[in-house]
Structure formats: structure tokens, C-alpha cells
Amino acid sequence: MRNLVEMIPGGVPVVVGLMLASLLLSSMVPIRPQMWLYPLVRQAVVMKIDYQTKNMLAQETPHFIIRYTPSDADMVAMVAEAAEAAYEPVTSALHYAPGKKTLILMHPDRQAMKQAYGWSGDASAMGFYWGGVIQILSPKAWMKNPSLNEFIATGPLAHEYTHLVLDHMARGNYSRWFTEGLAQYVEYQVNGYEWVTADNRLTGKLYTMDELDGDFDNLDNQALAYRQSLAAVRYIAEVHGEAKLTQVLTYLTKGERVNKAIEKSLGMDYGSYETMVNLWAQGNMKQYSKIAK
């Protein structure tokens, strides 16, 4: 995954200018300096991708602009409807709505998506969020008989749009596990979807919060890292209440790190939080079984 700053049109001089501007701003307000720079960088990346894809076919909806290739002309109406279906549940779960329309790029096949903007993520993924833009794989590339209901329920839009809305509200101030946990939590609430496999049982050996906080993307068992991330977010909302999850989000917007935001919101130290999440998850989250789907 390329660094956001590497993608800026204009390269280094623009970044330096943005950094100076952000330092000036940050001396006036009590917030972490990179949180001022971040939205400017993201906006520049969106402008660059917008420019590079301006010749693609496009369909606008109240909150999204979907760009696609001629081979997906028969898919765009369904994607548009699914995107709008994700809008309300995601923005009301996070209590935040981005000001501008969100750009969604639809790629006809996995190869095209892999080539998009240096993406190096999971080859089996149906979409990804990066730099202010959602990119998805055409439903035709992974669904036998694409239907709206199935695409809404099992497609990537609610998940990726949650990443985007969090990114806007917290201005980059969150960890990888937290955004994956939140995106899965919203997906679980809205569509009842959970990623449960034989490899991500919560009853065996687990990653520590330290490991999840560290190099999340390089942990060997990604299915388990994702499952634990969902557990850590669900524990906050289901045991301490939705209002506490909202409080964590509010602390992130104010520049608190994820661990401090959780400690302050729940009134417990991060070590106790880790212990409680794991105990709760073992007893309360669905576990893989051969007969379970």
C-alpha cells in the first residue's frame, strides 16, 4: 500500500507547502499537526484520481459518483442503489456525513483492480478504500447471478463506506484494526454479515492488542486479525453501549489515540480492555462450526 503523501499531484513541493500550512494552523489549535495536513492530502489524492478517471462512464446519485467501464453498463444501476442503501445506516451509525459526493470506481475484473493506484491488498477482496476513493470489483466478477439484495448484503459498499466516513471524521487518526473493526461492525449491524472461518476462532491463540496495534497488515492470520478487530469494537458497543462507541469516535476526532480514546470512554485501562474483549468474545461471538455457514 503506497503512502498517501506519495500520491500527491505536484509531489514534494506541494507536500512541504501543505506541511508548513499545517504547522501554522497547528500552533493555533490544540490538535495533532498531521490531522490538519491529512484532509488536504486526501483531497489532493481525490482530485488526482478524479482527473485520471474523468473519461470513464459515470452515474451520479444523491451522495455518490460511480465511474465504470462499458462492460459494466448493466451493473451500474445496481451499484448505485446499493451505495445509496449504505449511506443512511453508515452515516447514522457514525453520526457524521461527508460534505461532498463520494467517488466510487468500478473495475471490470481483479486484474484491473489490482493495477489501480498501486493497490497491493488482499487478492480476494471485493473492494478497498484508499485516499478518499472507494474502488470495487464489478459484481459480475464475483457473483453468479448478480442481484441487488445479495449485492447489498454481501457486497463491499457498507464496509468500504464506513472506512471512508471514519477517515473523514477522524482525519486519519485511527489504527488499522480500529477501522477494520468498525467497518465490520456496521456491516454486521446493517446486513448481519460476519467473516467466520475455521482459521479465525476466538477460542484459540489470539493476537495481543499490541500486535493488532502494530503491523496489522502483516499479521500472518488476517482472518483472525479481522475477527478480533470486530470483537474489540462490538465489545464496546454491546457491553458498554452505543453511546460509548460514539464517545470513542469523538475522542478520535479530537486527536486522542485509539487506546486513550477507549480508556477514557470506558473508564478502564487498555490491558483490562484487552482481557475483557477476549473473555466476552469467547462467550458471545459466533464460532465457526462445520455446519455453520
Binding site for Zn ion (CB under 5 A): 180, 183
Minimum Å gap between C-beta 163 and Zn ion is: 6
Nearer to Zn ion, 206 or 230 (CB): 230
The minimum distance between CB 162 and Zn ion, in angstroms, equals 8
Residue among 86 and 183 whose Cβ is closer to Zn ion: 183
CB of residue 180 vs Zn ion: minimum separation in angstroms? Answer: 5
In the bound complex, what is the minimum distance in angstroms from residue 160's beta carbon to Zn ion?
Answer: 7
Of 236, 239, 231, the C-alpha closest to 261 is 236
The label of the residue with cell 462445520 reads 290
- Beta carbon of residue 258, minimum distance to Zn ion (angstroms, whole number): 16
* Spatial distance between the Cα atoms of 68 and 9, rounded to a whole number of angstroms: 23
Contact 129, 164 (CB under 8 A): yes
Residue 184 φ/ψ region, left for φ over 0, alpha for ψ in the -120 to 50 degree band, beta for the rest = alpha
For residue 128, give the H/E element and its range.
strand 127-130
Nearer to Zn ion, 33 or 121 (CB): 121
- Compare residues 37 and 158 and give the one whose CB is closer to Zn ion: 158
- Cα–Cα distance, 231 to 215 (Å, whole number): 18
CB of 147 to Zn ion, least distance (A): 23
83 or 183: CB nearest Zn ion: 183
Residue nearest to Zn ion (CB): 183
CB 212 within 8 A of CB 177: yes
Task: For Zn ion, give the closer residue by CB, 19 or 104.
Answer: 104
- The burial of 292, by beta-carbon neighbours within 10 Å (0-12 exposed, 13-18 middle, 19 or more buried), is given as exposed
Q: By three-state DSSP, how is residue 267 classified?
A: coil
